[in-house]
Amino acid sequence: MGCCVPETRICSTGPLPTPARVPPAHDQVPLPGGEFLMGDAFAEGYPADGEQPVHAVRVTPFAIDATTVTVAMFRAFVDDTSWVTVAEREGSSAVFHLAVAAERADITGNDPAAPWWLDVRGADWRRPHGPLSTAELDHPVVHVAWDDALAYCTWAGRRLPTEAEWEYAARGGLAGRRFAWGDELTPDGRWLCNIWQGRFPYANTGADGWLATAPVRSYPPNGLGLYEVAGNVWEWCADWFAPDYYAHSPAADPEGPRSGERRVMRGGSYLCHHTYCHRYRVSARSANTPASSSGNCGFRTVAV
């Protein structure tokens, strides 16, 4: 999975924080639940990702965030709990090579499987591109491991969405479509998501206006009112990942395998491109170890 997000961490976090006395406000989208067809109806997915077979799934009603958790929201969590993220404890995190804002001495290596990922000392949620950068408050928080997302949810009285809930919400009420808005990537020539344009990984034309993350609500919402469910940042889900899970998953409220080594991620990121990571399709799956962090992965939450 190194082309999408590098597997860099194997450590785990400490005790979870105490829940906030006054839970923070989240802009929620209440969804009625129901049955939908989950999976890749176009046979375009990577076999190792296990996007097939297409199967009917029923989800019960739930309320999900309209956007990913922003830097401002995560900062409120850290200010209240003094939480130290995996990236901060480890002292570095993965940054895409064209986005690095650091002295050369702070670049400590790269991912052999994906050399465009550089390990940058001092890169974390406050400094997403390295020590010479500053996170913008209305952008998605990044450099958060699954473990960090879980800690935020514990504090906020929320939880991560299951993979089935995420896909149901991301489809926006459209059945069997390739993207959250239909089957064409750029209908009428319009970019509806923040992904890579140009020749990956060397030149980004910036046709959608961004090299890295865009502020939340930069693109139109899907039919259910969710923003940026394709591109921008990968989103952690609650489930463990298994490529064969769809072949035997329950029809009602599946929660993923009982155990595993990697957690599911959904939605793709600003680095996705059809030539190497066609995972901004609504059925696309990826996964990473729970303590991995990078400059293109965040999360959104669901009401408990």
Q: Supply φ then ψ for residue 119, to 5 degrees.
A: -85, 115
Q: What's the pLDDT score for residue 111?
A: 86
Cβ-count burial 218-250 (b if 16+ within 10 Å, e if not)? bbebbebebbbbbbbbbbbbbbbbbeebbeebe
Number of other residues whose CB lies within 10 A of the CB of residue 215: 18
**What domains sit in the chain, N to C, each tagged with a CATH number?**
28-303 (3.90.1580.10)
Residue 58 has pLDDT above 50, yes or no: yes
CA angle 224, 227, 229 (to 5 degrees): 90
Residue 190 has pLDDT above 90, yes or no: yes
**Would residue 182 be called left, alpha or beta, if left means φ above 0 and alpha means ψ between -120 and 50 degrees?**
left
The mean pLDDT of 227-244, rounded to a whole number, is: 98
CA distance 242 to 240: 7
Q: What's the pLDDT score for residue 276?
A: 84
Q: What's the pLDDT score for residue 6?
A: 72
Residue 3 has pLDDT above 70, yes or no: no
Residue 83 has pLDDT above 70, yes or no: yes
Q: What's the pLDDT score for residue 148?
A: 98
Q: What's the pLDDT score for residue 1?
A: 41
The mean pLDDT of 176-203, rounded to a whole number, is: 96
Task: Share the mean pLDDT of the chain.
Answer: 95
